[in-house]
Amino acid sequence: MTLTAPDRRTRGSWAGRVARLAATPLVPEDFVDLVAPLASPSQLRARVVAVEPETADAATLWLRPGRGWRGHVPGQYVRIGVDVDGVRHWRAYSVTAAEGDRIAITVKAIPDGVVSNHLVRRTARGTVVQLDQAAGDFTLTGTKQLFVTGGSGITPVMGMLRAGGVNDAVVIHSAMSRDEVVFGAELRALAAAGAIRLIEVHNDTDGLLDVSSLPVLVPDLAEREVYTCGPAGLMDAVEEQLLDLGLLERLHAERFRPSVLVVGEGGAATFGTTTVDAAGDRPLLDVGEEAGVLMPSGCRMGICFGCVLPLREGAVRDLRSGDLTTAGPGVLVQTCVSAAAGACQIDL
């Protein structure tokens, strides 16, 4: 989930803030922002106080939120704003732990992931990041749970397990290999202590998780609340299986990307003065960013409307519903869930 603002190339750096302050009239908040950024009354921030490796491609960042932090419910996520090469990006990460005045997020670096690689490999203790209040309803309910996760989808679940309150839980987790299981040692220790029942699926030796086997793996499935988070294919399969079993009302899903249900023909997409070919199954937000265009965004799921921009010409298709939107005076589109439906032009 990303907000990349077109006018923020120097905003996040200390030198940039000094230059801005020198060129504009000062108010008391400017001094607070520069000297004590966590005390700012208008912008919530957090300081990175520790970075702990989890796997070769994942790390936990411990954050100390500043003034105004309202806390979180285990399972919720926060949006982090980080400056990479002079551009501010926003991403959403689950809170995986909380201790005293600190919270933790766990990030898995993905290939070509600008923010995830920066956080895992380049972020140092003392770094100040932007922070949003915790959000999301992927939180604990019921007395018995089944967690079906894949890859970094284990992160919100670990936040719940660490917080306590889970008394009868089955965790089915899929990863490429045993070594790539985030929190692998801790999950196995919980299983050995009898706190959870753990089923690991390692794709390199076991193949992909067959969700049709859930009733066999978990005989009391109908008695459990089912939580799923991870790759879209896994989550879609879990949803379809529960629908077939008449248990869909028990499903709780955490998605950090919209489900693409409809694919159409793409076209030439113009962002300001930049024109690129856009596939019919790619969000315009992704297309624009990959072309080097600085675009606003937020949750990247079609929820927050932080990515809305004017549609000057052409038409776009909603990837969730297939609905077409054509250009006209005052027409706005959510670029994170809209794809080109022929040639289109987006105003920046």
CATH number at residue 274: 3.10.20.30
Same domain (yes/no): 246, 318 = no
Helix, coil or strand: residue 193:
coil
Residue 64 lies in a domain: yes
**Number of compact structural domains in the chain:** 3
User: Final residue of a domain: which of 201, 233, 254?
Assistant: 254
Same domain (yes/no): 278, 246 = no
For 176-335, where are the alpha helices, taking DSSP H only? 184-192, 203-206, 214-217, 232-244, 284-290
Q: What is the mean pLDDT of residues 7-12?
A: 38
Residue 262 lies in a domain: no
Give the helix, strand, coil percentages of the chain, each rounded to 5. 25, 35, 40
- Confidence at 264, pLDDT banded by 50, 70, 90: confident
> Residue 32: pLDDT above 70?
no
Residue 124 lies in a domain: yes
Output the pLDDT for position 263: 61
Output the pLDDT for position 43: 86
Pairing of strands 102-108, 58-65: antiparallel
Same domain (yes/no): 233, 271 = no
pLDDT tens readout for residues 221-248:
999 999 999 988 899 999 999 999 999 9
Q: What is the mean pLDDT of residues 291-314?
A: 84
Same domain (yes/no): 282, 313 = yes
Residue 136 lies in a domain: no
Same domain (yes/no): 242, 302 = no
Q: What is the mean pLDDT of residues 71-80?
A: 93
Residue 222 lies in a domain: yes
Q: What is the mean pLDDT of residues 283-291?
A: 89
pLDDT tens readout for residues 165-214:
899 999 999 999 999 999 999 999 999 999 999 999 999 999 999 999 99
Task: Tell me the C-alpha distance between 105 and 20, whole Å.
Answer: 31
pTM, full prediction: 0.74
Helix, coil or strand: residue 341:
strand
Output the pLDDT for position 257: 66
User: Final residue of a domain: which of 131, 156, 181?
Assistant: 131
Give the whole-number percent of the chain exceeding pLDDT 90.
Answer: 65
Residue 9 lies in a domain: no
User: Final residue of a domain: which of 188, 219, 254?
Assistant: 254
Instruction: Name the nearest CA neighbour of 185 among 40, 84, 60.
Output: 60
Same domain (yes/no): 156, 196 = yes
Q: Burial, 305: exposed, middle or buried (Cβ in 10 Å; 0-12, 13-18, 19+)? A: exposed
Q: With contact defined as beta carbons under 8 Å apart, do 285 and 90 qualify? A: no
Task: Tell me the C-alpha distance between 219 and 221, whole Å.
Answer: 6
Task: Tell me the C-alpha distance between 199 and 46, whole Å.
Answer: 35
* pLDDT, the chain, mean: 87
Q: What is the mean pLDDT of residues 298-320?
A: 86
Q: Which residues contact 126 (CB under 8 A, 6 or more apart)?
A: 47, 48
Same domain (yes/no): 165, 97 = no
Same domain (yes/no): 25, 104 = yes
Residue 33 lies in a domain: yes
> Residue 125: pLDDT above 60?
yes
The residue with tokens 């009239």 is: 25
Alpha-carbon torsion (28, 30, 36, 38), positive or negative: positive
Same domain (yes/no): 22, 84 = yes
Residue 261 lies in a domain: no
The residue with tokens 């923010």 is: 115
Q: Which residues contact 59 (CB under 8 A, 6 or more apart)?
A: 51, 52, 53, 106, 107, 119, 120
Same domain (yes/no): 281, 318 = yes
CATH number at residue 177: 3.40.50.80
Query: In which domain, by residue range, is 105 found?
Result: 14-131
Same domain (yes/no): 122, 23 = yes
- Confidence at 90, pLDDT banded by 50, 70, 90: confident
Same domain (yes/no): 19, 95 = yes
> Residue 147: pLDDT above 80?
yes
- Confidence at 255, pLDDT banded by 50, 70, 90: confident
Q: What is the mean pLDDT of residues 88-92?
A: 80
- Confidence at 258, pLDDT banded by 50, 70, 90: low
CATH number at residue 78: 2.40.30.10
